[in-house]
Amino acid sequence: MQVTEKLKTYYHYYQDLKAKGGPEEDTELFETVIELEEDIMSAYGLPPSHDHLQILWQLTEAPDLSEEVLQQTQQQLQETATQHLMAPVKTNLEILQEALEERPSAFNLLPEVGQPTHDYPIFLYEELLLNRSFSPEAILQEMEKIKELDCYGDVATLLYYHRKSYKRTKRYKVLKPHLQFLDLYLQQLEALENNEGHSVFAASLLQKAKEAATVAPQIKQKSASDNIEPSTYLPEMILLTDTLEMEEIVYDQDTAVTVNGKLRTSHGSAPISLGFDREVFIRLLRGYPDQGERLLAYFEKEKKDVSRDSPTIIHVPDTIGNALLASQHYFKVYKPLMLDENGRHKIMEDDFYLVDEVVEKETYKATALASAQEAVEGLLQHIVQSYYSYLLLLQEGISEKKARRNSGLEDPTLFALAQQLYTLQKFGGKPNLG
């Protein structure tokens, strides 16, 4: 069959598939469509990556299959093939090495290195390579081995059908000596059982998103009664995100400054004392051009006259007219150690903290927002991957109900979301998270 005829057949099969309600309604037809996509890509010397398949997906959106539409599609395929063939030749190892920095989608990268977009290669790429758990050389070796064995379906069967007994199966015993990351992949079993509403990847990424979006983690300190060796003390950091209200500044000849005041919370206020390095405190005051600069001028003046025998106390409202609100900064703090009456080191119980870092609020928010958005985008991508797993299971003859369950899409809302994300990605769109 000539390429033109394959394009026509592909177009009509695709329309039939849409009319029937999608891949889940006719798995045999869907498999035929996938084979045609791969055949057409192969005819032009192109790997079936999502970027290349976009050309065919755009063809299916044409209301009528005219000669002009066919010619435009063939021209676009030819131009893309020329660009692909003229590009510098890269080894599979070089492609994986570059992926560490560029982080392309698995659905674009895997076809470039001759791998199907199957669960195991996706796991190797996204969970092991991009997280820098293993080297590109090790990942490539594993990809080449599973391709040589052609055991993608066997690996998936272990994951989806032998969750509790895979180590006792003959299939596992045959594959284990050849696949060094098989156990890591199969350790997702517990996650699958405990996160029925998500795919394994999605459940993992959801946790990352929650951690990235946490603005003020509540950290449990060690008991104040513990006897602590100062040389081994690793203080636990707390990020104070409530507004600091400075009421009193205490300092003497050393380099430390103590600020007494309140933290303004949503429920009122709470007393607090913070210990600053003097230079850090001066930089903080300079961040408040009006009140901060006036307070800094007074602070610098008093510093010259400070007595060695007694600390200097500046009452902020008396100096600048009211308490200074450090509303543009967060403070990363920790509890210091103190000596009790028996000479033992313990964590201080008073509302006093040492400041480890002063953080600009807007900078922190921008970083946290970018991190959370990246995590959410990754979560959505993993939900799409669950849908691809679902489609692969349908191709293998698994029932609709089992395919949904085994791909983590049993929840109707999650399944509907996965379908829409799949459609968006297929036609070059993406969710608007703005």
pLDDT recorded at residue 180: 92
Distance CA 323, CA 397 (A): 71
Residue 216 · residue 240 · CB < 8 Å: yes
Asked which of 87, 118, 134 is the last residue of a domain, the reply is 87
Full residue range of the structural domain in which residue 302 is found? 237-334
Task: Report the pLDDT value the prediction gives residue 25, as an integer from 0 to 100.
Answer: 78
Kindly state whether residue 56 falls inside one of the protein's structural domains. yes
In the 8-state DSSP scheme, what is residue 322? S
Within-domain flag for 310? yes
**Does 180 reside within a domain?**
no
- Give the closest residue to 51 by CA, choosing from 425, 431, 433: 425
**Which of residues 55, 87, 119 is at a domain's end?**
87
Compute the distance between CA of residue 411 and CA of residue 403 in angstroms, rounded to an integer: 12
Q: Yes or no: say if 337 and 232 are a contact pair by the CB < 8 Å rule.
A: no
Write down the pLDDT at residue 163. Answer: 62
Q: 277 near 267, Cβ under 8 Å?
A: no
Residue 265, strand partner residues: 268
Residues 6+ apart with CB under 8 A from 234: none
Amino acid at 85: L
- State the total domains in the chain: 2
Residue 168 lies in a domain: no
Q: Is residue 206 part of a domain?
A: no
Q: Tens digit of pLDDT per residue, the chain (434 long)?
A: 688 999 999 999 999 988 888 777 777 888 888 889 989 998 999 988 888 998 999 999 898 899 999 999 999 999 999 988 888 888 999 999 999 988 888 888 999 899 988 889 988 998 889 888 889 999 999 999 999 999 988 888 787 666 666 777 888 889 999 999 998 888 764 444 444 443 434 344 344 333 333 333 333 344 444 577 776 777 888 899 999 999 999 887 667 899 999 998 766 788 899 999 989 999 999 999 888 888 888 877 766 665 556 678 889 999 889 999 999 999 999 998 888 777 788 888 778 999 999 999 999 888 888 878 877 887 888 888 888 888 888 887 888 888 888 888 888 888 889 888 888 887 777 787 66
Alpha-carbon distance 130 to 428, whole Å?
23
3-state secondary structure of 346: strand
- Of 283, 299, 334, which residue sits at a domain end? 334
CA 415, 418, 422, 428 dihedral sign is positive
Give the span between the Cα atoms of 211 and 114, in whole angstroms. 35
Question: What's the pLDDT score for residue 354?
Answer: 93
Per-residue pLDDT at 161: 67
Tokens representing 340?
Answer: 């009790």
CA distance 323 to 321: 7
Calpha distance 288→302 (Å, rounded): 19
DSSP 187-228: TTHHHHHH-TTS-HHHHHHHHHHHHHH-SS---PPPPTTS--
Residue 232 lies inside a defined structural domain of this protein:
no
- Helix, strand, coil percentages (3-state) for the chain, rounded to 5, are 55, 15, 30
**Nearest-CA neighbor of 29 among 42, 20, 38?**
20
Report if residue 394 sits inside a domain.
Answer: no
Give the helix/strand (H/E) hosting 347: strand 345-347
3, part of any domain = yes
DSSP secondary structure of 76-139: HHHHHHHHHHHSPP--HHHHHHHHHHH---HHHHHHHTT--S-HHHHIIIIIIITTTSS-HHHH
Q: Which residues of 21-35 are buried (b: 16+ CB within 10 A; e: fewer)?
A: eebbebbeebbbbbe
